[in-house]
Structure 1
C-alpha cells in the first residue's frame, strides 16, 4: 500500500489553498497545468518518495501557482482562472481519498469572503458621543474603590 501525505484544502473565489503535511521535505516539485492538473513530488524526512496528482474542479493559471515550504508542511496557493466558488476540490464526483480533508483553519464561506473583503483601512472606530471625550473611544469603567466608598 502506498502512503500519501495528508492534504488540507480551502478556497476563496480566486484561489485554492493546498497544505501538504510533510515534515522536513526536500526536492519539492510542484507543477500546475491550465486544465486543472496539480502534480506534486517530494522526498520526506526518511527518504521516502511522495508523489501524487490531483485533477482540480476547474481551470487554473499555472503562472499564479505559488509554493511556500516550512518544516512541517508545504503550502501551495493555486490561482483559479475565473473567480468563482468551486462545488468541490476535485473534478471527479467520487468521494475524495481519505488523505484529502478540508482545512477548517483557512476555510471561508462565500458570503463570509464578501463581508471580509472590505478594506480594513476604511474601517474606523466611531463612538456615539461624536468624539467629544478625550479617551479615544475607551470604555469608561468606574473606579471600584471610589464606588464602594473605600
Structure 2
C-alpha cells in the first residue's frame, strides 16, 4: 500500500473532519486570471460545504463569472499531525433571500455552538434577515476530493 493510500481519509472521516473544523480557504479565479484566496466560515452541506458572502465581494463576482472553486480545510501544527481535505467544486450561487436567510442562520448557529434544530433567537433571526438581502449563498459541490491524515502514519515517515 502506498503512503498516499495510507493517509487518505474515508468518507466518514471526511464528514467528521468537516464537522469539527471551522474555516475553509476558498480559491476562485480573479478577473486577471490569478487565484483569489479567501477564508470563510462554513457549515457541512450534503457531500460538500456551504457558506454565504456579500454579493459585491470579489469572491462572489469571481464565482458568478466562473462557478468553480478549490476549497481547502486543513489542520495540524507539525508534519505528523497534518490533516486536510481539498475539494475541487462546482459552486451554486443562491440568491433567493429566504434561502440565504436560512443559510445565514445555519452558519451563525453553528458558530454560536447551537445544535441543528435548536430554536433560533429572535435577535439572531432579525439580524440575519437584515443581512440576507446583501449576501449570496455559496454551495460547494465537490467534483474531486483529496484528503490526508498524517496521524495515520503513527509518527513514521
TM-score category of the 2 structures, normalised to the smaller one: under 0.3
Scaled by the length of structure 1, the TM-score of the pair is 0.26
Whichever of the two has the greater Rg, that structure is: 1
Higher strand share: 2
Higher helix share: 2
